[in-house]
Amino acid sequence: MQISTDRSSQQGFTFVEVVVALIIFSVAVSWAVPSYRAATANADLRGVTMDMVTLINNARAEAVNTRNDVVLSSLGGDGDWGDDGWRMVHPREGNIDYSTRGTVTVKETNDVDEAIFRPDGLIVDGAGNPLTLEFRICDDRDSENGRRVMVNRFGRIENTTPDDKAGC
């Protein structure tokens, strides 16, 4: 009986081929994971910002449309809206609670913990004084300055990217 030494009749992978494939796979994963983390963090930041903008717009519209006060407040009652989340007290549907995602934080820089949207379109505090709100929405990345959502006393929203991380 004669044993064939022809490599073309052998099946399987050599050790060197497996090691090369693992190295290529490792390089691809090490490149993809940071990109995935950055994309996820960006999505969290954008999502929380859009939640806040949508909530402010809805609160103002509901107050005007239903002719009832609509209250927007920090659940923690301390101006750090991202620690515990925030709430809209809806005149017909009750409380609607929101929270952050990932490492995103939300802070109202004027330490306002409650804003009342009135039927006349104004935003006031509990004593009826007109309010302006400024939210800083940030995450834990040093390379990202986050978002600034400013709301004037008439409910007009300005959503911008700040120059620095001040207020985060």
Q: Two tokens at 78?
A: 């301390």
4 pLDDT band (50/70/90 cuts)? low
Q: For residue 38, what is the domain's CATH number?
A: 3.55.40.10
**5 domain residue, yes or no:** no
**167 domain residue, yes or no:** no
**166 domain residue, yes or no:** no
Domain count, the chain: 1
Average pLDDT, whole number, for the chain? 86
**9 domain residue, yes or no:** no
Question: Mean pLDDT across the stretch 131-156?
Answer: 90
Query: What domain range includes position 60?
Result: 14-160
Question: Mean pLDDT across the stretch 80-100?
Answer: 84
Taking 80 as the threshold, does the pLDDT of residue 167 lie above it? no
Taking 60 as the threshold, does the pLDDT of residue 24 lie above it? yes
User: In 3D, which of 35, 37, 29, 31 has the Cα closest to residue 140?
Assistant: 37
State the maximum Cα–Cα separation within the chain, in Å, rounded to a whole number. 102
Residue type, 55: L
Q: Two tokens at 117?
A: 């949207």
